[in-house]
Structure 1
Amino acid sequence: MEFRILGPVRVSAPPEALGELRSVKRRGLLAIMLLHANQRMHEEKLLNWLWRDEDGSENLAELRRTVTKVRGVLKHTPSHPELPREGDHFRLRVDPALVDFHVFRDLSRQGSEALEKRDRHAALSLLRKALELWPEPVAFENVPLSWARRTSDRLVERELVPVCRAYYETHLALEHHDLVVSELRRSADLLERSESLAAVYLRALAVVEDAGAVADFRDRFVGDFRQHFGADPSDGFLALARRLVEEQPPAAAYGLPEPPCMLPRDVPDFVGRTGVLTTLDGWLVDDDVPGVAALDGLPGAGKTAIARHWARTRSEHFVHGQLYADLEGFGPGRPVAPSVVLARFLTVLGVPPDGLPPDADDRVALLRHKLRGRRVLVVLDNVRDAAHARPLLDATAPCSVLVTSRNRLGLTDCRHLTVPSMSAEEAVNMLHRRIHDGRARREAGALRELGRLCGGLPLGLRIAAEYVAARSDVPIADLVGQLSSRQRLLDLSSPGDSEYRTLRAVFTSSFAVLRPEAQRLLRRLGLHPSASVTSPVAAAMTGLPLPDVEDAFAVLLGARLVDQKTVDGYRLHDLVHAYAADSARRYLGAEERRDAVLRMVEFYRGTVDNAVRAIAPSLTEVPALAIAAQVEPLELADREHAMAWCAEQRSQVLAVSRAAAEAGLHEQVWRIVGRFGEILKRNGDPREVVEIHEVAVRSAQVSASRLGEAMLTNNLGSALLGVDDFEQAEIAFKRALRLSRELGNELGEATSLHNCGTAAFARGDFARAGRLFTEGLALFTGLDHPAGQWRAYLHLGDVEWKRGQTAAASLCYRHALAIERNADVLVKLAQFHQGNGEPGVAVEYGREALRLHREARHERAVCGDLLVLAQGLHGLAEHEESMSCAKEAAGLAESCGDLRARASAFEWMGVCAEALDDRGQAVGHWRIAAGLFEELTDSRVARVRARIVETGAVRTVPGQRHAGNGSGEDLRDLPAGRDREGRHREALRPAEPGQAAADGRGSCDQHRHGAQ
């Protein structure tokens, strides 16, 4: 707040400017103008108000000098309001939102409107904020003028008192008698001057205290009122006080002994959960209105521990006690009836057993009466559902209530919070505290792995920690190895625990109360290899219509056994997924399990086929296989939708393909991978691509499909190029070539022949690579296959460039571009022109390639494009944009698992930082690059280390070119050398001819070019 007149007059301005307000007249003038902000004030009125106490001092010139001084102060405030003269008037032009009085009025108005709408909670919040602006019942406190005193009294009476009355009347309506008494007692100055506030106080006091306290206050108030006003309070006030004294029973009638505390012991070694605890503070402590908060979440998520810890550590806010009941909503027996809990609470509050009403409704009414006006916290633990909690919430309405349940209760007038699993850090801290021996400090990695296996689930962490602690002589890593199967974790229990404290028993207690269709769904979700699943997949696995599956998911969601991540995407906690998988094995027949898995695999196979058809319709389809009956794959006719699905479901397709192979569904496996292989290469870890293609090759062999084996063996070679295993890639391509020739598949032969060339090129045998590319080009030309032709020309250009024949290389690249304006060709042209000292042309081609690869969501290619573009921009002295490209490339390289590209990106970031004259940042980037190159046994590590040493001795001028400053030429190392393992390596791969071949982008996947 920039200007304050409620209390003393204060202004946000530097101390030297505030010195001008030492004058009473200047403070008075400022107070008047702020009170009447944006209103015209006549000079005579200002003279009268400011100089009225001084005879003959109505001096217009003095007033104007005072105005000038105040203007000087205003110029030093943040908003610089103006105080212009308008004829014989002055007007302060100021934003009312900067003046506390006008903010007070606005909040008061909003609070009144909320009361009219019967939104008491919102009204209380608004009125409280208004009253916080007026801490004492006075205005203009540091302006000792008669005008200021009169106006202050008027504002208190007409502005402050009505807001106070509305605020406390609202609290009374909500039965917050204790709060009203305690707060008004602290406002004695205001209370003794306001009959209406005194009446509110009396009504609250009659509930909190006995008749004697009411009579004492009445007598004191009447005496103070007479002294202040010279008259008695109104007859209405006196009649109210008399009635309250006569009707008020003694305090003992409430039968409330010492404040009760029924809370169980706090959880030992409680850790973390700061966010949840802070949220509960805001809901149940910071708000003036006692409310209801419900914690829900997965079984074992720690809801009870949080509730007990929070209640124990916030007891000072609930001075009249804490009531607690475990309703055992999910125990092995029947849940505790609400009438039993009511009886317990009433007994604790002083009602003798023979005085308990037999009827539950009467118990609700009596407990509500007992808690009236009291600041009591009620904790209702392990509530089954909304019906289980509702009678108790009705009875405890005057109090703050904290409820825990595994289910989302959906109660009205209740705030709901789902308790998440512990973070990795919280899980490790909990394990540390519970294992409490030297092993926990020595084996930090094993402890993190144990936390991961438990998925941050507190119950699982507690059981696992006690298991480890009881075996103090065994290394934690060995015990974690025993528990690596989550099935073992499900049945683990600590000594002395009942049979219901294993994770399996806890999950079973939640499973048992589910509807049959939800149980059916959960068991089949256990057959899915991933804990993440979409509702269309679930519909395929269950054979149910999609609306029925969504209804079943809603039940699981309410039971907190799944979380919803997208409109149709759900995720199970890893341990719940393990429980569901075990339940499926135990209770579903072999045929039923196989049928569900087949349906799942067929759904993915059909959807993959539809997606690839939408993304790249020119790709030749794999041999047909009818989709299983009653399975409806997703229709993804739109290219963007299809690419989004492929990116989101990449890991799912991999997992399902592995599961299909384990289930013996080999005909489906090689078709899924054969169709999805091109998409798989675009992002993610390339080692996964190799692994799944090895699985697919075996499936094709088991299926006795030589066509599928040829296709997948060729694609395996392409995947091996992506991990720089050039020798094995060539072996795979040669085998695919032999199979294609045996089958008489000319396009397959051309493709494999071309890919043998890419492997030879990658190994540095450029002469052989040129011969193979030329043979492949002849076959592609005879088959009239444009895609094969432009790739052949592209790689022939690489060979010519390596030989130093730039004119021939340029001609080959132009031939490729003429056949198809493909992103791979464009990025190669960008590299070529960059290498020939034409960064402007390189940037133009690089931007177009980047756009096309982004559209295709080809993350690996985008990473390479960004590095090529970074070089071109650096050559144009656009160092900041070059740095931006390199940074993005580093991030993409990390997500794709491409250490070599990541190392190159950090090297370029260092070059850019050096060009921007930030040597410290440059050295930091180069150190990271050196570490990565060393891990890869890449000889570029020596050059990067030399840069680090050189940078310590040479200060680079931004844009300067010298040896080692990253001009572009010094990063290409033409021709490419070999690392100490003899493998082909490149100084900065995107700048090298043959880059596409080296990372697998340049290979011709057989399924792209014609496995018929």
Structure 2
Amino acid sequence: MRFEVLGPLRVRCESGPVAVSGSLRQGVLALLLAQSGRPVPADTLVDALWGDDAGDGGSKLQLHVHKLRRLLDTPDRLSHDAGAYRLRVGAGELDAESFASMVAEAETAGPDRAADLLGDALALWRGDAYQGLDLPALAAEIQRLTELRLVAQERLAAAELARGRGSAAIAQLTDLVSAHPLRERAHALLMTALWAGGRQADALAVYRDVRQALVDELGLEPGTELRDLERRILAGEDAPDAGPAPAAPIPAQLPPAAGVFVGRDAELAELSRIEGGSGGAARIAVVTGTAGVGKTALALRWAHRAAAGFPDGQLYVDLRGYGPDQPVRTDDVLARLLRGLGVDGAAIAADVAERAAQFRTLAGGRRLLVFLDNASSAEQVRPVLPGSGSCFVVVTSRDALGGLSVREDAHRIDLDRLTSTESALLMDSLLGERPGDAVTRIVERCAGLPLALRIAAERVRERHDGDIGDLADELADEQVRLDLLEVGDDPQASVRSVFSWSYQGLDAEVARAFRLSGLHPGNDFDAYAVSAVTGENDLRSTRRRLHALVRARLVDDIGGGRYRLHDLLRVYAAELTQAEDGAAAGTAAFARLAGFYVQAAARAMAAVFPGDAAAPVTPAEPVVLPDLDDYDAAMRWLDTERLVLLSVGDHAPTRGLPGHTTDLSGVLWRYLDLGGYYEEARSLHGRALDAARTAADRHGEGWALGGLGLTAMRMRAPEAGDLLRSALAVHEARGEGRGQAMVLNYLAAVDFFDGRKDAGISHLRRAIALYDELGDEALVARPLNNLGGFYRMVRRYDDAIECLERALGVAERCGDRPSVPHILLELGALSRMTGRFDAALDYAQRGLRATREHGVARLEGIALSDLGLAHGRLGDRERAFDFHRQARQVAERDRLPELWAEILIAAGRTHRLLGEDDASVGAFEEALARFDHPSAFTTGAALQELGEVYAARGDHARALDHWGRAVVVFDRMHRPEGAELRCRIAELGGIPPGDNALEEQTSR
């Protein structure tokens, strides 16, 4: 096949043109052709074609790819592997590649051959590159081809002039300068052609025109080449011979690029965008990133692709800013650059400043690419920068080189690690098809660093049996991971070595901050945590050290005042701590860090849940704490640090600090319960219980048992009652009134739902009395709310109202913000049950505001459902189902199946109220499909509602079946609805389930 992009996109096969219809399908093909046979991640294609409006972009992309395959001569030309698409393009099949190949061949050919090659190359163009395709992702490739076209036109004119065809050259160049009035090289060639043809006046007129254009448009004087031509013509010198004068070799110093390269499309496009800019000084791009992230590989990839756009050459110097060798001195760098431009050694100035001026003079007006690799600082780069806007400079460094951005307007490209998809694609490209699980595990251990991935691939190749599962297992061990990620004695192929070159340049206190940060057990951290782990109570000093680490690319600044060490750097930092600080210092540092999190969590809990947290018992060291006295700030901090707090609780016992785990359990129990973090709570409280019992810490044991019991109750685990009763016994033995009241509040719920209603109510009254005795008015709202809910369920409505109204008053007066939405929604449910629908609507509206204001996200869906029910009762169908729809979105967001079922039941009730029986049946059945638990009220309610629909339809058999199943659920929970349904079943002539039926259902 033949693919043509030098104009409108066209595809041809032997039988004739192939029509590629649709802009999106053309876009897919163009994006694949722009990569010339290289794999393109599907995510990159989706983003390029649909951007923020992608929706189900993957499916849409698959459809277009499927249709494209049908147009190709062989469908396997367009393949998919490891999340990426690849279009195989053979030699000579893509006109852009043919064009670039002929232009490159013309560089070393004589004038006649060069003119023929360049004429044929330019004849391939039928318009603009990728004409008609408006895709930002193609911009870099379009710019590259457009620039190469201009270079080819200039070279063609030079070749015509060199072989004595001045008239042809003048005609071509006149058109070219007219289209590109600021292109100095074309004007210089036209002046030379006119001068050689005896038309000095016309040549000087060209100079005047281009100078005026440059001054007007850019505020610049012409470059050296143009000014020299004007001077020579005015001096009356002889015109140059028709043949070209001997010229110094054009430097082409770029090292080879990596054979396998994946991703980085955005960064490559950004380099092209920067290179395409204009200005009086040299344009500068700084590619910065952590060690091993592939800065040089990226820059070389771009440089080789863009080399044709720099007809005067490409210069390269490794500045050795990081590595085992000494950095290259400025005078040596300048000498290398001058020799690259053809200056004889004897002619190179001795003084550094003179060398810099000499280099700027020679580079002026030339289209040069200057690649300065591995720079350590702005001071190392600044003296060797060219001064001309015709040059483009690419610098790579682990340092941000902020000084170049400030003074030289350098554009920085921060290179991040590869994504997991890109990492897997790189491994597949290096190794071919391998077992997916093993590759995935290796990719995870290599932290997205191309260097680590390449070393891991080499390790695999070294293993003759080809089994990479063993390597994946070995890399899981942090003690040997860095040992495995090195090859032989080559320091450039060792992750530890390349890290060390960054570390060795750090100030002593900055280095210590880096080492001890490796002890942090979370994914990210802030300056307060680093202050704690280092024992540095001056937060400003800590922030300065973190900024230094960010500049050195040893720590990532992820925004919001938070920082991150990727896995390999964390292992390296911890390794340094062991080697340089010793085990005792590491233990002390972690103790400071754990103590900080206990103290900060206690302060946050005091703002969010006043009086709920157990007081920490571990002695606290002085640390700098964030300002957490405000509810919103405290809740944000808890949400941000939740995973870190849990991780500290996991690690503390293994580091000889069991008290910190029991402290965190007692401090965080209420927060974890409110957020529905039940699995995390069970893990933390379980570890705390083990730690407390090992240390004979009865205080910690009581709070850990209480937390476990509460979590078991939420998860409907049968051991909830035993755990809570054990916790109560411990608190009673120690005389801890607050602990007793907390446990009684939740033990009441267990007893109530087990049928011991009087015991449950008694527990709540006792909890209220204990809080009153302790003077903890802020805490009394919760047992009051629960007591009101119990009274509602047993139909004691007056008692329920009294409890709930008192609870609401206490919560609002004492600032117990998390309890307010619970109480409001309970009042709303009570209002619906008593027929006060206007009041129910008001409570639901207030409840929704409270859930959103106070961060009780899991109640938002219930509040929205209640609003839907209330509007349905008031006859406003449109608003009712709008709220039901919003409630379902919350359930989908939070992925809580029981909440989802409860919301569906509410929607079904509104459908039934409005006479939409079919829709109500669908909602109730979906609720059962999403959550069907033998001891859940939600399950019983869905079954009861289905029975109501079928009874209203006269389908008594199905009604009795659903009611009978609901009775079994309600009886198991000792709910009054069970007795009520038994009466309904009897009224329809059915036989209510008895003890045998209940036992049979239970055995299932």
Tell me the TM-score normalised to structure 1 length: 0.66
Q: CA deviation at 1:498?
A: 1.4
Over 3 Å counting, the alpha-carbon distance change for 1:781 and 1:401 in structure 2 is closer
Structure 2 match to 1:844: 842
Contact 1:797–1:809 (Cα < 8 Å) also in 2: yes
- Aligned partners of 2:927 and 2:441: how far apart in 1? 28
Over 3 Å counting, the alpha-carbon distance change for 1:683 and 1:359 in structure 2 is same
Over 3 Å counting, the alpha-carbon distance change for 1:636 and 1:318 in structure 2 is same
Structure 2 match to 1:826: 824
Structure 2 match to 1:221: 202
* Secondary structure in structure 2 of the residue aligned to 1:267: coil
Structure 2 match to 1:296: 288
* Secondary structure in structure 1 of the residue aligned to 2:276: helix
Contact 2:791–2:800 (Cα < 8 Å) also in 1: yes
Structure 2 match to 1:450: 442
Identical-residue share of aligned pairs (%): 27
The residue type paired with residue 890 of structure 1 is: A
- Aligned partners of 1:184 and 1:838: how far apart in 2? 94
* Secondary structure in structure 2 of the residue aligned to 1:565: strand
Contact 1:192–1:224 (Cα < 8 Å) also in 2: no
Contact 1:210–1:249 (Cα < 8 Å) also in 2: no
Structure 1 match to 2:699: 707
Cα deviation, 1:173-232, whole Å, max 9, x if unaligned, reads xxxx999x9999878379799xxx99x99x86796689665453845838999xxxxxxx
Contact 2:256–2:300 (Cα < 8 Å) also in 1: yes
* Secondary structure in structure 2 of the residue aligned to 1:246: coil
The residue type paired with residue 243 of structure 1 is: L
Counterparts of 1:689-768 in structure 2, within 5 Å, are: 689-722=681-714, 724-762=715-753, 766=757
* Secondary structure in structure 2 of the residue aligned to 1:514: coil
Q: CA deviation at 1:917?
A: 15
Q: CA deviation at 1:260?
A: 3.1
Q: 1:282 aligned to 2:284?
A: no
- Aligned partners of 1:918 and 1:490: how far apart in 2? 66
Moved more, 594-603 or 489-498: 489-498
Moved more, 792-801 or 415-424: 792-801
- Aligned partners of 1:468 and 1:927: how far apart in 2? 53
Contact 2:170–2:194 (Cα < 8 Å) also in 1: no
Over 3 Å counting, the alpha-carbon distance change for 1:239 and 1:470 in structure 2 is closer
Q: CA deviation at 1:438?
A: 4.4
Q: CA deviation at 1:400?
A: 0.6
- Aligned partners of 2:230 and 2:373: how far apart in 1? 46
Structure 2 match to 1:886: 887
Cα deviation, 1:827-861, whole Å, max 9, x if unaligned, reads 11223334566554333212323333433323334
- Aligned partners of 2:496 and 2:702: how far apart in 1? 47
Q: 1:413 aligned to 2:414?
A: no
* Secondary structure in structure 2 of the residue aligned to 1:292: strand
Select the residue among 850, 853, 856 that pairs with 2:854.
856
Q: CA deviation at 1:471?
A: 4.6
Over 3 Å counting, the alpha-carbon distance change for 1:261 and 1:942 in structure 2 is farther
Q: 1:428 aligned to 2:428?
A: no
Select the residue among 567, 577, 584 that pairs with 2:570.
577
Q: CA deviation at 1:308?
A: 0.9
Structure 1 match to 2:55: none
Q: CA deviation at 1:518?
A: 0.9
- Aligned partners of 1:880 and 1:427: how far apart in 2? 46
Q: 1:273 aligned to 2:264?
A: yes
- Aligned partners of 2:964 and 2:865: how far apart in 1? 16
* Secondary structure in structure 2 of the residue aligned to 1:390: helix
Contact 1:368–1:397 (Cα < 8 Å) also in 2: no
Contact 1:879–1:916 (Cα < 8 Å) also in 2: no
- Aligned partners of 2:467 and 2:934: how far apart in 1? 32
Contact 1:206–1:214 (Cα < 8 Å) also in 2: no
Contact 1:802–1:975 (Cα < 8 Å) also in 2: no
The residue type paired with residue 735 of structure 1 is: S
Moved more, 479-488 or 834-843: 834-843
The residue type paired with residue 188 of structure 1 is: T
Structure 2 match to 1:528: 520
Over 3 Å counting, the alpha-carbon distance change for 1:515 and 1:891 in structure 2 is farther
- Aligned partners of 1:187 and 1:910: how far apart in 2? 78
Contact 2:188–2:229 (Cα < 8 Å) also in 1: no
Q: CA deviation at 1:258?
A: 4.9
Over 3 Å counting, the alpha-carbon distance change for 1:747 and 1:548 in structure 2 is closer
Structure 2 match to 1:559: 552
The residue type paired with residue 476 of structure 2 is: S
Q: 1:794 aligned to 2:821?
A: no
The residue type paired with residue 749 of structure 1 is: Q
Over 3 Å counting, the alpha-carbon distance change for 1:882 and 1:311 in structure 2 is same
The residue type paired with residue 482 of structure 1 is: E
Over 3 Å counting, the alpha-carbon distance change for 1:751 and 1:342 in structure 2 is closer
- Aligned partners of 1:647 and 1:564: how far apart in 2? 19
Over 3 Å counting, the alpha-carbon distance change for 1:936 and 1:495 in structure 2 is farther
- Aligned partners of 1:927 and 1:404: how far apart in 2? 61
Contact 1:670–1:700 (Cα < 8 Å) also in 2: yes
Structure 2 match to 1:461: 453
Over 3 Å counting, the alpha-carbon distance change for 1:269 and 1:626 in structure 2 is same
Moved more, 873-882 or 557-566: 873-882
Structure 1 match to 2:298: 306
Q: CA deviation at 1:914?
A: 13
Cα deviation, 1:412-447, whole Å, max 9, x if unaligned, reads 2211111011122222221221221242xxx2x554
* Secondary structure in structure 2 of the residue aligned to 1:726: coil
Structure 2 match to 1:510: 502
Q: CA deviation at 1:367?
A: 3.2
| Count of residues paired in the alignment | 770
Structure 2 match to 1:643: 635
Tell me the TM-score normalised to structure 2 length: 0.66
Root mean square deviation, CA, Å:
5.0
Unpaired segments ≥5 residues, structure 2: 1-152, 159-168, 207-226, 813-819, 956-960, 978-1004
Cα deviation, 1:608-649, whole Å, max 9, x if unaligned, reads 2322223344446516654324x2333433333223222222
Moved more, 810-819 or 247-256: 247-256
Cα deviation, 1:153-189, whole Å, max 9, x if unaligned, reads xxxxxxxxxxxxxxxxxxxxxxxx999x999987837
Counterparts of 1:466-505 in structure 2, within 5 Å, are: 466-471=458-463, 479-493=471-485, 495=487, 498-505=490-497
Contact 2:613–2:669 (Cα < 8 Å) also in 1: no
- Aligned partners of 1:783 and 1:974: how far apart in 2? 46
Structure 2 match to 1:668: 660
- Aligned partners of 2:893 and 2:304: how far apart in 1? 48
Q: 1:331 aligned to 2:323?
A: yes
Structure 2 match to 1:593: 586
Structure 1 match to 2:251: 260
Cα deviation, 1:651-671, whole Å, max 9, x if unaligned, reads 222223333333222333323
Q: 1:387 aligned to 2:368?
A: no
Cα deviation, 1:482-527, whole Å, max 9, x if unaligned, reads 3223443322236556144221111111101111111011011112
Contact 1:604–1:633 (Cα < 8 Å) also in 2: no
Q: CA deviation at 1:707?
A: 2.4
* Secondary structure in structure 2 of the residue aligned to 1:641: helix
Over 3 Å counting, the alpha-carbon distance change for 1:679 and 1:778 in structure 2 is closer
Moved more, 798-807 or 666-675: 798-807
Q: CA deviation at 1:287?
A: 4.8
Q: CA deviation at 1:872?
A: 3.9
Counterparts of 1:126-145 in structure 2, within 5 Å, are: none
Structure 1 match to 2:174: 188
Q: CA deviation at 1:268?
A: 1.9
Counterparts of 1:234-253 in structure 2, within 5 Å, are: 242-243=233-234, 246=237
Q: CA deviation at 1:681?
A: 3.0
Cα deviation, 1:876-911, whole Å, max 9, x if unaligned, reads 4214531453255236524xxx44335656787899
- Aligned partners of 1:303 and 1:864: how far apart in 2? 51
- Aligned partners of 1:473 and 1:574: how far apart in 2? 28
Over 3 Å counting, the alpha-carbon distance change for 1:487 and 1:404 in structure 2 is farther
Contact 1:295–1:418 (Cα < 8 Å) also in 2: yes
Structure 1 match to 2:600: 607
- Aligned partners of 1:943 and 1:567: how far apart in 2? 45
Over 3 Å counting, the alpha-carbon distance change for 1:484 and 1:846 in structure 2 is farther
